[in-house]
Structure 1
Amino acid sequence: MSAETTEQTAPNDPRASYMRARSLADRIIASVKDLPDSTETRREPGTDIFGVRLHFGTGLTAGLAVLNTAALLDSEPVREDEETRTWIEVRTHTDGIPVIARALASREDADQLLQQIPAVVLVTPPGGSSLSMQPVPLASSVVARVPAVIPTPADTVGGGQ
């Protein structure tokens, strides 16, 4: 016996909200270079609205994945410094769905990724003293190896549709 059922959902139906959030998570994952360690579809506290959380893990690569996700979603990344760790996050709404992407990083990695403290490597010229040290150009730092991501409306999830 084969039966097809078509389920009609109301606009505020929690199941429909969940399915929209899952669909958005799938679209984001299909569009980012680095896969998150985990994804979570969760109900926003006290509502019937479901949102998406992408957990990219720890380290420089994970932080870079958050920056790339922020560019994809046309949003600005932020940092949250705690006593011994720093979170790099993007919090936004895409197609009316709350999205959080985050990674745990060292303060040094967060500084480099968010370019809050320029990466400067001091070198002592041959025969020079430590007082005559000159900064090395930024092009030789880790920040220079981070690819620039400039989204266009067609590149953003939910944009250009």
Structure 2
Amino acid sequence: MKARALPILLLLALVVTMAALIQPFVVDYRERSQADRIVQHYQRVEAQVRALTDEQGEFGNCDGLRAKVGEAALRFDEVILDVGFEPVELGERLGYRPVFVVCGAVGTPHALSVARYAQQRFAAIDRIESGPIVRDSAVAFAAPLGAPDRIACLAPPTTLPRLCGRGHVPSDGPNAG
């Protein structure tokens, strides 16, 4: 009986050791795969926004454009995806253009790593707006959803953008603001 126990224990130790060695590679693969999914989300939202602005022209307000994109297109497990708006000035005309916002922060498992890999993917395809934030606690960046010289909506959005690392906006108290 003791003779059989030793090979079984050695085999079990080998399996556990192999699993411990392989686990970081599996996690890394999963995070890179999630980053690729974010790029696919971006491409779908970009196509949708371009079709909407080509079909309907300029929206009266940015809330209308964001509502047309819909929450389902921005739903993602690991990081926060959102449609934000940047001001555009074309001569005398003022308006806003949409951008795809990606944010990952500490507090959500793998969010920081997934956002970092996504930032690398977007940089590789040259789709990052200036000024990405890459810190130890958060990674956030924006990618254009339209041409830089095209106004998509005239009035700014009335809703606050999603906060990186928070599920809701505090309404009052010491953390408000």
State whether TM-score is above 0.5: no
Greater fraction helix: 2
Using CA pairs under 8 Å that are at least 6 residues apart, name the structure with larger relative contact order, 1 or 2: 2
Q: Structure 2 length as normaliser, TM-score?
A: 0.29
- Higher alpha-carbon Rg: 2
Q: Structure 1 length as normaliser, TM-score?
A: 0.31
